[in-house]
């Protein structure tokens, strides 16, 4: 389109006789100047007000401006105490914060208060920013739960898992010892050569079978125990007047989540008391270390004398006679004290005339069979007993968490098939398939990763970790709208 061109002559004509026009005041020009000056003053006032207000806010004297102006949203209830103190998370003082907030090391600030929260696994190619999973400024209620997409961003990505498996091979096994030091006895499955790097999307799509079953692991406990016999033997003695059931030996701990440890005294003694002399079934060996049993045996005359006193025998000669008769009777059965000791420590046979406990009268049913009835006892050739103390784990699937109280309405046997188990070496844990009946879209019960797993290594363990791979990679983190990118 052609413009209407004015010639130079036409323009010059317009200013002829009016060359100093700009020296004369004009309504439009005055207004322009006033508007400019006015805006400048207002802007300056705002900057000053913001600066003062933010200083007041960090002094907790209550400001009004900054949070309204620059706050992207209310802070969650967990951080309500520091909601107004922006610098607790942003580390940049006062008004300057606005400029710097994106590049500020928010994660470092999180870790000032939440120590040891960066470690998930030592072989992650790079850690995620805290705020990739925990979102702030999203409302004053509780923080939103971490979503499965966060877990899937590594666990469902082949490239990440392959890289992790490779990285894992370069680290010492001790770096992966993340078992919590929480007072429980944990069954420790060995870490597979490739680590736990299976690729899957959800609990129902590809989540691996639990390692104890996948690798057909065995319980290494040396205590001998036979669930089948105890659950099904005919004429099994009653426990507290009731038929024995799982709860006779297994009861949940105070939290309701896991089972209490068992003890000989609480769970076995009522039937297997350490009674060794059929004529004196009320005298029991102490249960515990070999030495105390040996010194008890050495003090047998004293034990019988004590019994005599309990029976009301005061006369010295009568007392001595009682003790002699008991010892002689015992010797008739075992011939020597060495033999007595040998059978107590090593024999797996019942010494009672009727080997089956249940057919014995009440007092005698606890006929002692020897420590080796329940324990691994070595040293039979040398004659010096070495008893392997049993270790009964009370946490089995330590890489996950479980809660028995949430499943109290269920039959134990629907998860633990013990009725045919005759050996301790059987691991009686449920399969992954059995959980899917409920924890799946079909079953309708929550099946998010967080239902069964935590993310952060237990603090008792994380504190032990050397500043290894995961911390190194944190240094290379930059916040980018809540998603993490690495600067490398």
CB of 319 to ligand HEC, least distance (A): 27
Measured from the Cβ of residue 305, the count of other Cβ atoms closer than 10 Å reads 17
Quote the least distance from Cβ 316 to ligand HEC, whole Å.
Answer: 32
Of 407 and 442, which has the nearer Cβ to ligand HEC? 407
Residue 209 Cβ, how far from ligand HEC at the closest point, in Å? 8
What are the beta bridge partners of residue 284?
A: 275
**Min separation Cβ 287 and ligand HEC, Å:** 5
**Are 205 and 398 spatial neighbours (Cβ–Cβ below 8 Å)?**
no
CA angle, residues 453, 478, 172, in degrees to nearest 5: 50
Q: With respect to ligand HEC, which residue has the nearer C-beta, 227 or 322? A: 227
As given in the structure block, the two tokens for residue 457 are 């290594």
At 475, is the secondary structure helix, strand, or coil?
coil
Q: How far apart are CA 427 and CA 214, in angstroms?
A: 12
Q: Give the start-end residues of each E strand in 216-272.
A: none
Of 210 and 304, which has the nearer Cβ to ligand HEC? 210
Q: If you compute the radius of gyration of the chain from its CA atoms, what whole number of angstroms results? A: 39
- Virtual torsion, Cα 138, 139, 141, 144, nearest 10 deg: -20
Tokens of 390: 């049993």
Please, what is the minimum distance in Å from the beta carbon of residue 317 to ligand HEC? 33
Nearer to ligand HEC, 123 or 326 (CB): 123
Nearer to ligand HEC, 301 or 443 (CB): 443
What gap in Å lies between CA 428 and CA 144, rounded to an integer? 36
Q: Which C-beta is closer to ligand HEC: that of 130 or that of 283?
A: 130
Backbone torsions φ then ψ of 97, nearest 5 degrees: -50, -40
Measured from each CB, the residue nearest to ligand HEC is: 195
Please give the helix or strand (H or E) that residue 483 lies within, else none: strand 483-486
> CB atoms < 10 A from the CB of 264, how many?
15
Which residue, 316 or 362, is less far from ligand HEC as judged by CB?
362
Element (H, E) at 333: helix 316-334
Min separation Cβ 326 and ligand HEC, Å: 19
Crossing angle of helices 290-298 and 300-310, in 10° steps, is: 70
- Min CB(335)–ligand HEC separation in Å: 20
Q: Which is nearer to ligand HEC, 319 or 404 (CB)?
A: 404
Segment holding 150, helix H or strand E: helix 148-155
**CB 138 → ligand HEC: shortest distance, Å?**
9
Q: Residue 286, exposed/middle/buried by CB under 10 A (0-12, 13-18, 19+)? A: exposed
Smallest separation, CB 416 to ligand HEC (Å): 4
Q: Which is closer to ligand HEC, CB of 29 or CB of 266?
A: 266
CB of 303 to ligand HEC, least distance (A): 14
Quick one: CA dihedral 270, 276, 282, 285, positive or negative?
negative
Within 10 A of 292 (CB to CB), how many other CB atoms are there?
A: 12
Nearer to ligand HEC, 87 or 320 (CB): 87
- In the bound state with ligand HEC, the residue whose beta carbon lies nearer, of 351 and 395, is 395
What CA–CA distance (Å, rounded) separates 111 from 341? Answer: 60
CA distance 479 to 131: 8
Q: How buried is residue 174: exposed, middle or buried, by Cβ count under 10 Å (0-12/13-18/19+)?
A: exposed
Q: Smallest gap, in angstroms, from Cβ of residue 283 to ligand HEC? A: 13
């Amino acid at each position: 389109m052609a413009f209407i061109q004015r010639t130079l002559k036409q323009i010059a004509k317009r200013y002829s006789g009016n060359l100093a026009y700009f020296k004369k005041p004009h309504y439009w020009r005055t207004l322009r100047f006033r508007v400019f000056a006015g805006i400048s003053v207002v802007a300056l006032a705002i900057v000053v007000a913001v600066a003062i207000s933010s200083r007041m806010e960090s002094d907790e004297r209550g400001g009004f401006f900054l949070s309204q102006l620059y706050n992207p949203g209310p802070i969650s209830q967990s951080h309500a105490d520091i909601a107004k103190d922006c610098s607790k998370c942003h580390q940049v003082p006062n008004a300057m914060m606005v400029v710097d907030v994106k590049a500020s090391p928010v994660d470092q600030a999180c870790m000032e208060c939440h120590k040891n929260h960066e470690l998930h696994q030592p072989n992650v190619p790079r850690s995620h920013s805290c705020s990739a999973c925990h979102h702030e400024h999203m409302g004053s209620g509780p923080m939103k739960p971490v979503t499965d997409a966060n877990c899937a961003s590594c666990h469902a990505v082949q490239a990440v898992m392959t890289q992790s498996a490779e990285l894992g091979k370069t680290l010492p096994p001790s770096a992966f010892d993340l078992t919590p030091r929480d007072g429980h006895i944990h069954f420790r499955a060995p870490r597979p050569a490739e680590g736990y790097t299976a690729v899957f999307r959800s609990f129902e799509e590809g989540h691996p079978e639990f390692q104890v079953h996948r690798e057909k692991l065995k319980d290494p406990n040396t205590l001998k125990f036979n669930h089948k016999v105890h659950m099904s033997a005919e004429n099994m003695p009653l426990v507290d007047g009731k038929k024995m059931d799982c709860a006779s030996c297994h009861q949940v701990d105070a939290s309701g989540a896991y089972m209490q440890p068992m003890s000989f005294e609480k769970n076995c003694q009522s039937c297997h008391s350490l009674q060794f002399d059929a004529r004196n079934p009320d005298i029991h060996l102490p249960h515990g270390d070999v030495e105390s049993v040996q010194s008890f045996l050495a003090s047998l005359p004293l034990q019988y004398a004590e019994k005599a006193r309990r029976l009301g025998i005061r006369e010295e000669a009568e007392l001595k006679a009682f003790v002699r008769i008991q010892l002689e009777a015992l010797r008739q059965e075992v011939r020597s004290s060495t033999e007595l000791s040998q059978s107590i420590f090593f024999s797996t046979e019942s010494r009672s005339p009727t080997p089956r406990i249940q057919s014995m009268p009440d007092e005698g049913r606890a006929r002692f069979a020897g420590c080796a009835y329940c324990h691994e006892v070595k040293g039979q050739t040398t004659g010096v007993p070495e008893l392997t103390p049993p270790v009964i784990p009370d946490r089995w699937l330590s890489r996950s968490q479980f809660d028995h109280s949430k499943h109290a309405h269920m039959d134990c046997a629907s998860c633990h098939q013990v009725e045919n188990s005759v050996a301790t070496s059987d691991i009686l844990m449920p399969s992954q398939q059995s959980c899917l009946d409920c924890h799946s879209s079909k079953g309708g019960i929550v099946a998010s990763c967080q239902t069964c797993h935590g993310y952060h290594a237990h603090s008792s363990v994380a504190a032990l970790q050397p500043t290894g791979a995961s911390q190194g990679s944190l240094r290379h983190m930059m916040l980018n709208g809540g998603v993490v990118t690495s600067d490398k």
